[in-house]
A and B are shown apart, each in its own frame.
Chain A
Amino acid sequence: NAGVTQTPKFQVLKTGQSMTLQCAQDMNHEYMSWYRQDPGMGLRLIHYSVGAGITDQGEVPNGYNVSRSTTEDFPLRLLSAAPSQTSVYFCASHGRVKNEQFFGPGTRLTVL
């Protein structure tokens, strides 16, 4: 049981480049979400999805796009990377069991 997986673990981009952070879960969870973690700011919600085909914005959605074509996958796209997007990104998922929330290992992104 792999849980929540994220790729890549590390990434360096130049300003203006685009890329996709991958997230997958194998627990058939309906809810998936992306957070960014910056020093002193805790975890801030970027986008989330309550099921395949349904996504919504979180607190800090600007500069990011998501889609949810399957239950398992929830990729996060940076269309034109900016230095302000340098951060650690976490993907998380949960189902209907209320005390379970699973996190991926994180992706450390640097934008030069």
Chain B
Amino acid sequence: AQKITQTQPGMFVQEKEAVTLDCTYDTSDPSYGLFWYKQPSSGEMIFLIYQGSYDQQNATEGRYSLNFQKARKSANLVISASQLGDSAMYFCAMREPDRGSTLGRLYFGRGTQLTVWP
């Protein structure tokens, strides 16, 4: 079963508008971490934002915010005031909890290709 599901293969948004990229996750652990990464056409993986499962507030980093709904197991990325440079592939990921000396694994979704048009 997929641990991370991104249901939107592609999204389009006009410059300066906000866009939400969906992500749902599957875990029975109470402790976990959620990540979003951006992958531009150049190929590198760029860390955007992190949300811990016990964090009370939604994470924000500049124009990026994570809409964390724990009961629904969703961790949607919201990009406000989209820019042309935001066009890229976006990946959601979940890190399992560390178990003693063994660090948790990281699972990725299949990604959403965001295109920002002028």
Contact A43 B91 (CB under 8 A): yes
Cβ-closest chain A residue relative to B109: A42
Contact A98 B44 (CB under 8 A): no
Interface stretch, picked from A16-24, A72-80, A100-108, is A100-108
Q: How far is the CB of B70 from chain A (nearest CB, A)?
A: 17
Contact B95 A45 (CB under 8 A): no
**Interface size class, chain B:** 20 to 34
How many Å lie between the Cα of A105 and that of B6 in the bound state? Answer: 24
Chain A residues with Cβ below 8 Å from B98 are 96
Q: How far is the CB of B12 from chain A (nearest CB, A)?
A: 18
Interface stretch, picked from B13-21, B73-81, B99-107, is B99-107
Chain A residues with Cβ below 8 Å from B50 are 98-99
Contact A103 B45 (CB under 8 A): yes
Contact A30 B110 (CB under 8 A): no
Cβ-closest chain B residue relative to A41: B110
For window 29-77 of chain B, which residues contact chain A by CB distance below 8 Å?
33, 35, 37, 43-45, 47, 50, 52
Contact A40 B110 (CB under 8 A): yes
Given contacts A98-B95, A101-B47, contact A92 B106 (CB under 8 A): yes
Q: Which residues of B contact A (CB under 8 A)?
A: 6, 9, 33, 35, 37, 43-45, 47, 50, 52, 91, 93, 95, 98, 101-103, 105-111
Q: A42-B109, A94-B103, A101-B35 are known contacts; what are 5 more A-B pairs with Cβ within 8 Å?
A: A90-B45, A98-B95, A101-B47, A101-B95, A103-B45
